[in-house]
Amino acid sequence: MFVIFAVLDGFDMGIGIVHLIIARDTTERRTLLESIGPVWDGNEVWLIAGGGALFFAFPSAYASGFSGFYLPLMIVLWLLILRGIAIEFRSHITNAVWTPFWDVVFAGASSLLALFFGVALGNVIRGVPLDANGSFFLPLWTNFRVGPTPGVLDWFTMILGLTSVAALAIQGSLWAAMRTRGDLQIRARDFAGLIWIVVVLLTIAVMIIVPLALPNFSARYLTHPLGLILPLIALGALAGVKISSRTGQDQTAFLYSSGYILTMLAAAAFGHYPNLLPAISATHSGLTIYNASTTSYGLSIGLVWFVPGILLACGYLMFAYRQALIDLKKE
């Protein structure tokens, strides 16, 4: 569910990131917002669903994570609120100050959300200073080093955060190229080509520093070398983005970009398994899918409710995107 959220809400946030870059006037910015209008709120359902599944399946990880990451979670909550009201309030008043103000709020909130989601992933795979009770607290930053007293922000998590911003920027640019026409479409393609270079460089950097900084990742991939196919597929997907975008195949390029995000997250999950929230302190072994899960009875009951819930969410997803595709063909 978190992967689906990253792929789908990724282009929503990506549109926000590139909102003030590729659009030249109010009309073009309105066009970009209309391209995500039918689906952006539905895409965020997957974040809520993922949090709900985490709550019923792995309550210890949920409790530790939501208490330890209290400050960044409050920041993310405010950014989600600001992003939503910026989309809704932008057109309520026709004013030379009102509209540009909400455009800036939308772009800023989207960019910071992409950064914080990448930073969050970095914190989860890096580990946190869990104590014997499974509790921890992280300040927003300390000395920006990876060590026994880290902050939410350090050089490792910031690299993953910047990679997230760049990846979602190209996702949003390709969505804009797919859903717009004329000069706006050309600028979206050109920006996607420009940011593609940044994504490639950051991706290579991540593939180097993660196994060097996290020995458990190296051990996991050395023990199961078949998993190396995931980062290789991610690099192949990036190549597909470049080739497809250059030839004007915007929909194919967008699918390749989605595949890149999916396989990068899959590679992270593969290397992280079976950890959920590892500890960097010697007093606690960390939370895994085994010691953080609820009882087998609780999992069984949760599964009974999960199945119709996920089917309902998938049904709504198919309906919303089918309507968006119909609207695209009409255009």
Does any domain span residue 167? yes
Does any domain span residue 315? no
Does any domain span residue 309? no
CA dihedral 170, 238, 203, 185 (to 10 degrees): -10
Q: Which domain holds residue 45?
A: 2-293
Does any domain span residue 194? yes
C-alpha dist (Å) from residue 4 to 1, 70, 324 = 5, 24, 18
Does any domain span residue 313? no
pLDDT in tens, the chain (331 residues): 999 999 999 999 999 999 999 999 999 999 999 889 878 888 888 998 899 899 989 999 999 998 899 888 999 999 999 999 999 898 888 888 889 999 999 999 999 999 999 999 999 999 998 887 878 888 888 888 887 888 899 999 999 999 999 999 999 999 999 989 999 999 999 999 999 999 999 999 999 999 999 988 999 999 999 999 999 999 999 999 999 999 999 999 999 999 999 999 999 999 999 999 999 876 677 899 999 999 999 999 989 988 998 898 888 888 888 877 766 666 6
Does any domain span residue 10? yes
- Return the pLDDT at 262: 97
The pTM score is: 0.93
C-alpha span between 230 and 300 (Å, rounded):
31
- Return the pLDDT at 268: 96
**Whole-number CA gyration radius for the chain:** 20
Does any domain span residue 164? yes
Q: What is the pLDDT of residues 98-114, one digit of tens each?
A: 899 999 999 999 999 99
- Return the pLDDT at 205: 96
C-alpha dist (Å) from residue 276 to 68, 95, 279, 292, 315 = 14, 48, 10, 8, 29
Q: Which two tokens stand for residue 127?
A: 């580990």
CATH number, residue 12:
1.20.1630
Does any domain span residue 303? no
Residue 62 burial class via C-beta count within 10 angstroms: exposed 0-12, middle 13-18, buried 19 and up: buried
Angle at 100 between CA 71 and CA 84, to 5 degrees: 40
C-alpha span between 4 and 253 (Å, rounded):
18
C-alpha span between 296 and 3 (Å, rounded):
25
- Return the pLDDT at 321: 81
Number of domain units in the chain: 1
